[in-house]
């Protein structure tokens, strides 16, 4: 080994603390890169494989009731590769010991077992016996939530008739990666079931013998999806077609797509911050090293080593730190990615999710990270080149502070000498101070923005379940009911207040923009389920016109006063052209509202309701549930508290843990910067500090001189971090908000508090580590050295 | 104990660095008495133990064995905190490389000490005593070596120390500047009554001392009392 390499190793060992802190910053950046890009490709590939293996349909076409031979017509449509019909229906599952029945989707499994679309993965048990109509395969996540076993019986009410089934299997399916009850946004394994039954059983239950109510299509490779949708709608129209839609509009796929794009955004934005910080740290550390080794550099050059050889020696040091950090980051990233894959697999109900990494992007990503981090070192090489042997061999004069004295006159009156030392060091090298402040502030801003985003989810909950929906229980019906139902409901046990609603599926269209969703008809003086404006005031439903959620108005690019086309997918399927009356503030989903009477009038279905919101006396809830269970028309009963709890749980699983990860990120960046700054300050001032100790300054007083500058860094960084975090949270919230949920950007003192706390803690730890050096300072040895 | 006549008294003072065969015996049982108000010059080759002795009785280092008394206080028993207190209240140091704070002006370097001292002298007086009254607001980088050393002396004496330790105070200076510095030390001893201990290679310095201690091999060879002290001006460099 060459002597320069020996020196390299010893130098590394000497600055192991600093090198370790920098490598850690690089490692966090690279591990995030590895973890997120790996997760991204794993999720995408798993989704593709899962969809392909279980043949998830590319087009879904719900219809009221169409005879099976219509499928042949659909198959003729250009671009359609295959088509299958199935029977779907709402069901209520009566779980023993539970007051509320659980909503379920019942799906038919065709008698033939050929390669059918929307197949499922049978996790346990066996396939349905085609000869029997009393067997059921249950969605695995629901079975787990309720601890169901094979051979248990399950009691379900379909179309008003209650029947018992044997559970023969548990299954997962690509169309239920994310399981939400129809009309809900919050996935809850326990509150929504999927039942696969033999076709005959469902045909009998829903009166669909020889018919289907959902067509599933796969497309040819070069098919034009939009054209297919139009053609399918044309065929199914007279059978009550409710509008065909593509896979990407399927709720389950939409959720996972949103997750993927969120990951993509984060993986692009976050790692560069760490690389920037690492580059800054390497810059100041190597600068200091070159400065303190100027005599050695001069000597080595005097021996005949070239500028390049000496420069490369110092650059190698940078490379070793960056590469070691990147290596550690890869390991951490793989490990974290595996752990994250486990979380994703359970949240998204994949039967398999293999965390894997594409080698090419990984190698280039890590390479770029290493180079970016090393860039800081490149700047220092100039200094190495500039040192001539003669200059380098001369000891440096005492650091000249005469120019930083300008401000003193004003400060002098209230600064003691140690404070003046702190202030003059800062004034002498403001660039370094600024870099450190900026680095800490960006780290803190990043984590506080992420955390305030997570707190923003809480606002979503409060607005959705506290302001907009003020009911206790909502009830939906299988079919629309006459308004008299409302009056009947008033007599149910415990019901204090009843409010009807009429929801219809519709496609909203404004020019090229369209959105498939639900229009909610609200009564004129809605109290339990309302639309509110951005000041949380009631929006009075206009006689004509539609009220859109802000997110929906953004998707449709439409302003109040403009005309919107509403293609209703139910009943006589009218196409309405209505003015946009106003914009409502919602954070969950992208709903639209009309006056219920106006909606019914357009549908020519006067006085029809599809559900009711109830305010109830909580003491009487069990009696109310019993009564609702006995009503065959009831499709679902949702308690507001359950929906909120499910939402909360969803937020907490991933996001709750993220909060700590984000705090750790702020801590690591701060630690990296403050620790390195402290080490460098210590290196530069070791002799001064020793002199202070000799003069009789206590350790605490000496530490003040050393750590005062760092306290200034932290004190300046925290308010700057708040500012950066505030603006970052807008950017991130905009990136995360979708039509499924919107995240409000609000100033969350708690988020900034936690991030600031992490910064202060990291600063204290680094301060403590360096203060130990003061305690250990060898007074005698330090005083004997020249510099 | 009545008012002690000695500033320092050591008995069997021993300092060993390292252990086993690699152990270095820097002091081998030194017995010594330094009377109050003396100028003491410690002479001897490198590694003879003179700096080690200075460091131990200056409260910078700890003895391996033996005792060292400052007046009636046992230095070898003191905690770290007590040693700091001792240096703060009683001891002034002057070093070969000055050890000024580069970020403080001459006056501020002196104030650094007067701010924490119990009974400091006036800063201007201290600087005038070393002949630097007109350079008070200069930073170390703007001063010559001799000027820097004089600031260091001003800083050391400004607290009105009981004892002044000087480790090679003229080692980095030319002869005329060195002589001027010794002059200052002589004045401080005469005017303030501080005990002054000077470690040096320059044997000629001994001529100004009350007492000269010769070191060799970690032990005291001889202690001479100087009956005919000369002024620093007359010292042959």
Chains A, B: CB contacts under 8 A, how many?
A: 99
**Residue A716's pLDDT band (boundaries 50, 70, 90)?**
very high
Interface mutation vs chain A, best among B103, B111, B116, B123, most A CBs within 10 Å: B103
- Which residues of chain A does B96 touch, with a Cβ-Cβ cutoff of 8 Å? 784
Q: What residues does A214 pair with on adjacent strands?
A: A62, A86
Q: A694: which chain B residues are within 8 Å (Cβ-Cβ)? A: 58, 60, 87, 93, 99
Is A430 within 8 Å of A406 (Cβ atoms)?
A: no
Note the residue count of chain A.
787
Which of B60, B105, B112 lies at the smallest CB-CB distance from A779?
A: B60
Tell me which H or E stretch contains A60. strand A59-67
> What residues of B are in contact with residue A696 (Cβ under 8 Å)?
84-89, 91, 113, 116
Domain hosting residue B104, numbered range: 36-61+87-234
- In this predicted structure, the answer to whether residue A782 has a pLDDT above a threshold of 80 is no
| Angle formed at CA A90 by CA A88 and CA A95, multiple of 5 degrees | 125
* B57 located within any domain: yes
Give yes or no for residue A431 having a pLDDT over 90.
Answer: no
A417 and B112: CB-CB below 8 Å?
A: yes
Q: Give tens-digit pLDDT for A105-143.
A: 999 998 775 668 999 999 999 999 988 889 999 999 999
Structure tokens at A310: 């000496």
The first and second tokens of residue B138, run together, are 């200069």
Can you give the three-state secondary structure of A284-344, one letter per residue?
HHHHHHHHHCHHHHHHHHHHCCCHHHHHHHHHHHHHHHHHHHHHHHHHHHHHHHHHHHHHH
CB-CB neighbors (< 8 A) of A291 in chain B: none
Q: Is the dihedral of CA A383, A385, A388, A393 positive or negative?
A: positive
A694 closest CB neighbour out of B51, B60, B81: B60
Residues B146, B180: contact at Cβ < 8 Å?
yes
* pLDDT tens for each residue of A508-556: 999 888 888 889 999 988 888 888 888 888 888 888 899 999 889 988 9
Residue pLDDT, tens place only, B161-213 = 999 999 888 877 778 778 888 888 888 898 888 999 999 888 888 889 999 99
pLDDT band of A324, cuts 50, 70, 90: very high
Cβ-defined contact of A779 to B61 (cutoff 8 Å): yes
Q: What is the mean pLDDT of residues A225-243?
A: 90
Q: How far apart are CA A272 and CA A373, in angstroms?
A: 9
The CA distance from A194 to A91, in Å, is: 9
CB–CB contact A405 B61 (8 Å): no
Token duo for residue B223: 């202690």
CA dihedral B194, B200, B206, B209 (to 10 degrees): 10
pLDDT of residue A739: 67
Residues in chain A with CB shorter than 8 Å from the CB of B70 are none
Cβ separation of B88 and A424 shorter than 8 Å?
A: no
Residue B4 lies in a domain: no
The closest alpha carbon to A707, from A490, A422, A280, belongs to A422
Percent over 70 (pLDDT), chain B: 98
Q: B2 pLDDT band (50/70/90 cuts)?
A: very low
CB-CB neighbors (< 8 A) of A420 in chain B: 103-104, 108
| Interface mutation vs chain A, best among B84, B102, B108, most A CBs within 10 Å | B102
pLDDT at residue A787, as a whole number: 43
What's the whole-number mean pLDDT along residues A379-388? Answer: 78
- In this complex, which of B95, B140, B155 lies closest to A398 when CB atoms are compared? B140
Q: Which residue of B has its CA nearest to A688?
A: B101
Nearest CB among A425, A779, A784 relative to B103 is that of: A425
Query: How much is the pLDDT for A354?
Result: 79
Residue B149 domain-assigned (yes or no):
yes
**pLDDT at residue B67 above 70?**
yes
| Closest Cα in chain B to A424 | B103
Chain A partners within 8 Å of B105 (Cβ): 405
Q: Do A401 and B84 touch (CB under 8 A)?
A: no
| A359 pLDDT tier (thresholds 50, 70, 90) | confident
Record: contact B97-A786, CB cut-off 8 A: yes
Do the bridges between strand A546-549 and strand A513-522 make them parallel or antiparallel, or are there none, so unpaired?
Answer: unpaired
Who among A405, A417, A696 is closest to B111 (CB)? A417
What contacts 24+ positions apart, CB below 8 Å, involve A642-645?
Answer: A642/A100, A642/A188, A642/A191, A643/A184, A643/A186, A643/A188, A643/A465, A644/A461, A644/A464, A644/A465
Q: pLDDT tens for residues A38-59?
A: 888 888 999 999 999 999 999 9
Minimum-distance CB partner of A417 among B60, B84, B108: B108
**Nearest CA to CA, how far is B153 from chain A (Å)?**
12
Specify the 3-state DSSP secondary structure of A381: helix
Most B CBs within 10 A among A399, A403, A404, A417, hence the mutation to make, goes to A417
Cβ neighbours of A779 in B, within 8 Å: 55, 60-61
Quickly state the pLDDT bin for A85 (edges 50, 70, 90).
Answer: very high
Domain extents in chain A: 1-59+258-390, 88-207, 417-469+641-787, 495-616
Nearest-CA distance A706 → chain B (Å): 13
**Chain A residues with at least one Cβ partner in B under 8 Å:** 397-402, 404-405, 416-418, 420-421, 424-425, 428, 687-688, 690-699, 701, 779-780, 783-784, 786
Q: How far apart are CA B49 and CA B213, in angstroms?
A: 11
Residue-averaged pLDDT of chain A:
84
Give the C-alpha separation, A523 to A501, whole Å.
Answer: 7
Q: What is the mean pLDDT of the segment spanning A253-257? A: 86
Q: Which of A175, A269, A674, A653 is nearest to A457 (CA)?
A: A653
* pLDDT greater than 60 at residue A407: no
Q: Which of residues B16 and B4 earns the better pLDDT score?
A: B16
- Answer yes or no: is B24 within a domain: no
In DSSP notation, A540-571 reads PPPSSSEEEEHHHHHHHT--TTSEEEEEE-ST
Rounded to whole angstroms, the Cα distance separating A217 from A111 reads: 18
d(CA A592, CA A720): 40
Does the beta-carbon distance from A688 to B55 stay under 8 Å? no
Q: Phi/psi of residue B65, each to 5°?
A: -155, 165
Instruction: State the nearest Cα–Cα gap between A18 and chain B, in angstroms.
Output: 25
| Number of domains forming the structure of chain B | 1
Cβ-based contacts of A418 with chain B (< 8 Å): 112
Q: Taking the alpha carbons of B98, B103, B106, B112 in that order, is the dihedral positive or negative?
A: negative
- Does the pLDDT of residue A187 top 80, yes or no? no
Are A400 and B142 within 8 A, CB to CB? Answer: yes
Helix axes B106-114, B145-157, angle to 10 degrees: 20
Looking at this predicted complex, what is its ipTM? 0.83
* Sequence-ordered strand ranges (E) for chain B: 6-17, 24-35, 39-43, 65-70, 73-74, 91-94, 163-167, 195-199, 211-216, 219-225
- Test mutation, B101, B139, B155, chain A, max A CBs within 10 A: B101
Instruction: Chain B: give the shortest CA distance to residue A701, in Å.
Output: 10
Q: Given pLDDT bands bounded at 50, 70 and 90, which one contains residue B19?
A: confident
Q: Which residues of A touch B111 (CB under 8 A)?
A: 417
Could you tell me which residues of chain B have a Cβ less than 8 Å from any Cβ in chain A? 51, 55, 58, 60-61, 81, 84-89, 91, 93, 95-97, 99-105, 108-109, 111-113, 115-116, 138-142, 148, 155, 167
Burial status of residue A493 (CB atoms within 10 A of its CB: 0-12, 13-18, 19 or more): middle
pLDDT at B31: 94
Q: Name the CA radius of gyration of chain B, rounded.
A: 17
pLDDT at A397 over 70: no
Residue A684 contacts by C-beta under 8 Å, 6 or more apart in sequence?
A288, A399
Residue of chain A with shortest Cα separation from B85: A696
pLDDT, one tens digit per residue, over A617-667 is: 988 888 888 888 778 788 788 888 888 887 777 666 655 566 667 677 777
- B89 and A695 in contact by Cβ < 8 A? no
Residue B166's domain is classified under what CATH number?
3.40.50.300
Find out whether B167 and B94 touch, Cβ atoms under 8 Å.
yes
A398–B100 C-beta distance less than 8 A: yes
Q: Are A723 and A445 in contact (CB under 8 A)?
A: yes
Provide the residue count of chain B.
Answer: 237
A197 sits in the region (left: phi over 0; alpha: psi -120 to 50; else beta) called: beta
CB contact under 8 Å between B97 and A420, yes or no, is no
B116–A701 C-beta distance less than 8 A: yes
Best probe of the B interface among A404, A427, A690, A695, by most B CBs < 10 A, is A695
pLDDT digits (tens, 9 = 90+) for A204-222: 999 999 999 999 999 999 9
Measured CA to CA, the distance from residue A726 to residue A747 in angstroms comes to 7
Backbone φ and ψ for A95, nearest 5 degrees, come out as -90, 130
Between A655 and A754, where is the model more confident? A754
Tell me what pLDDT residue B1 has: 43
Cβ distance of A696 and B61 shorter than 8 Å: no
Distance from the B228 Cα atom to the nearest Cα atom in chain A, whole angstroms: 33
Structure tokens at A186: 């919050």
Q: Tell me what pLDDT residue A411 has.
A: 64
Phi/psi at A359 (5° precision) = -65, -40
What is the chain A residue with the closest CA to B92? A695
């Amino acid at each position: 080994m060459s002597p320069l390499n020996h020196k390299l190793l010893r130098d590394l060992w000497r600055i192991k603390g600093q090198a370790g802190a920098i490598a850690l910053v690089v490692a966090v950046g690279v591990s995030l890169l590895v973890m997120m890009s790996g997760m991204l490709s794993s999720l995408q590939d798993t989704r593709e494989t899962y969809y392909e293996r279980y043949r998830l349909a590319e087009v879904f076409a719900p219809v009221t009731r169409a005879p099976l031979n219509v499928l042949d017509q659909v198959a003729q449509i250009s671009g359609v590769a295959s088509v299958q019909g199935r029977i779907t229906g709402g069901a209520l599952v009566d779980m023993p010991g539970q007051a509320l029945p659980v909503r379920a989707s019942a799906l038919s499994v065709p008698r033939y077992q050929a390669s059918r679309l929307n197949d499922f993965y049978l996790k346990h048990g066996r396939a349905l016996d085609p000869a029997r109509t009393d067997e059921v395969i249950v969605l695995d996540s629901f079975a787990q939530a309720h601890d169901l076993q094979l051979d248990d019986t399950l009691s379900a009410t379909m179309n008003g008739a209650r029947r018992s089934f044997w559970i023969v299997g548990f299954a997962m399916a690509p169309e239920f990666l994310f399981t939400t009850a129809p009309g809900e946004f919050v996935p809850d394994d326990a509150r929504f079931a999927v039942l696969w039954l033999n076709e005959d059983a469902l045909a009998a239950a829903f009166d669909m013998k020889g018919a289907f109510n959902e067509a599933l299509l796969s497309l040819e490779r070069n098919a034009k999806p939009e054209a297919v949708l139009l053609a399918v709608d044309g065929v199914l129209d007279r059978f009550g077609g409710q509008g065909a839609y593509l896979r990407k509009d399927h709720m389950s796929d939409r959720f996972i797509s949103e997750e993927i794009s969120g990951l993509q955004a984060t993986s692009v934005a976050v790692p560069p911050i760490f690389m920037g910080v690492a580059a800054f740290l390497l810059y100041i550390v190597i600068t200091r090293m070159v400065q303190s080794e100027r005599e050695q550099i001069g000597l080595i050059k005097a021996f005949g080593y070239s500028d390049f050889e000496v420069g490369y020696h110092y650059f190698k040091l940078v490379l070793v730190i960056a590469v070691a950090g990147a290596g550690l980051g890869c390991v951490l990233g793989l490990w974290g990615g595996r752990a994250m894959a486990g979380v994703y697999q359970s949240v998204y109900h994949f039967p398999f999710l293999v965390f894997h990494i594409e080698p090419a992007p990984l190698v280039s990503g890590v390479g770029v990270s290493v180079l970016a981090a090393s860039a800081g070192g490149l700047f220092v090489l100039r200094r190495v080149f500039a040192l001539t042997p003669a200059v380098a061999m001369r000891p440096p004069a005492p650091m000249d502070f005469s120019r930083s004295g300008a401000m003193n006159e004003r400060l002098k009156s209230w600064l003691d000498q140690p404070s003046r030392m702190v202030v003059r060091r800062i004034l002498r090298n403001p660039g370094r101070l600024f870099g450190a402040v900026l680095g800490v502030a960006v780290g803190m801003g990043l984590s506080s923005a992420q955390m305030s985003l997570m707190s923003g989810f809480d606002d979503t909950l409060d607005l959705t379940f506290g302001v907009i929906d003020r009911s206790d229980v909502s009830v939906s019906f299988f079919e629309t009911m006459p308004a008299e139902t409302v009056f009947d409901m008033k007599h149910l046990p415990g019901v204090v207040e009843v409010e009807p609603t009429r929801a219809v599926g519709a496609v909203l269209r404004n020019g090229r923009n369209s959105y498939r969703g639900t229009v909610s008809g609200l009564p004129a003086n809605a109290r339990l389920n309302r639309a509110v404006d951005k000041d949380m005031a009631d929006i009075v439903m206009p006689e004509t016109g539609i009220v859109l959620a802000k997110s929906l108005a953004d998707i449709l690019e439409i302003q109040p006063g403009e005309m919107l086309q509403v293609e209703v997918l139910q009943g006589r399927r009218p196409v309405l052209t209505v003015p946009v009356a106003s914009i409502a503030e919602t954070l969950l989903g992208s709903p639209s509202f009309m006056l219920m009477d106006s909606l019914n009038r357009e549908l020519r279905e006067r006085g029809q309701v599809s559900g009711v919101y109830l305010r109830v006396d909580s003491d009487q809830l069990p009696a109310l549930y019993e009564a609702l269970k006995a009503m065959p028309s009831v499709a679902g009963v949702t308690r507001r508290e359950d929906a909120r709890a499910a939402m909360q749980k969803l937020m907490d699983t991933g996001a709750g843990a993220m909060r700590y990860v984000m705090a750790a990120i702020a801590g690591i960046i701060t630690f990296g910067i403050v620790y390195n700054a402290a080490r460098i300050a210590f290196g530069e001032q070791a002799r001064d500090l020793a002199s202070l100790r000799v003069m009789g300054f206590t350790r605490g007083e000496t530490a003040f001189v050393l750590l005062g500058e760092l306290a200034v860094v932290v004190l300046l960084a925290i308010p700057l971090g708040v500012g950066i975090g505030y603006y970052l949270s807008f950017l991130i919230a905009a990136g995360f908000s979708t039509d499924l949920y919107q995240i409000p950007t609000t100033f969350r003192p708690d988020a900034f508090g936690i991030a600031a706390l992490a910064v202060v803690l990291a600063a204290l730890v680094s301060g403590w580590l360096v203060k130990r050096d003061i305690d250990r300072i060898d007074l005698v040895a330090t005083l004997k050295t020249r510099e | 104990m009545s008012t002690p006549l000695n500033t320092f008294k050591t008995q069997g003072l021993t300092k060993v660095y390292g252990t086993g065969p690699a152990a270095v015996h820097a002091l081998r049982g030194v017995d010594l008495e330094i009377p109050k108000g003396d100028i003491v010059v410690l002479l001897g080759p490198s590694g003879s133990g003179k700096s080690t002795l200075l460091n131990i009785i200056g409260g910078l280092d700890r003895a391996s064995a033996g005792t060292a008394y400052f007046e009636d206080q046992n230095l070898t028993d003191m905690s770290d905190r007590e040693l700091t207190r001792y240096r703060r209240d009683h001891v002034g140091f002057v070093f070969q490389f000055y050890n000024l704070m580069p970020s403080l002006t001459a006056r501020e370097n002196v104030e650094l000490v007067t701010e924490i001292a119990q009974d400091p002298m006036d800063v201007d007086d201290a600087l005038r005593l070393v002949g630097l009254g007109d350079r008070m607001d200069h930073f170390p980088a703007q001063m010559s070596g001799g000027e820097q050393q004089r600031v260091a002396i001003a800083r050391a004496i400004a607290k009105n120390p009981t004892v002044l330790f000087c480790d090679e105070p003229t080692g980095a200076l030319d002869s005329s500047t060195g002589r001027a510095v010794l002059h200052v030390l002589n004045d401080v001893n005469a005017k303030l009554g501080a005990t002054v201990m000077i470690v040096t290679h320059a044997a000629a310095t001994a001529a100004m001392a009350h007492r000269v201690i010769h070191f060799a091999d970690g032990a005291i060879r001889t202690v001479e009392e100087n009956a005919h002290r000369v002024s620093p001006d007359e010292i042959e460099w």
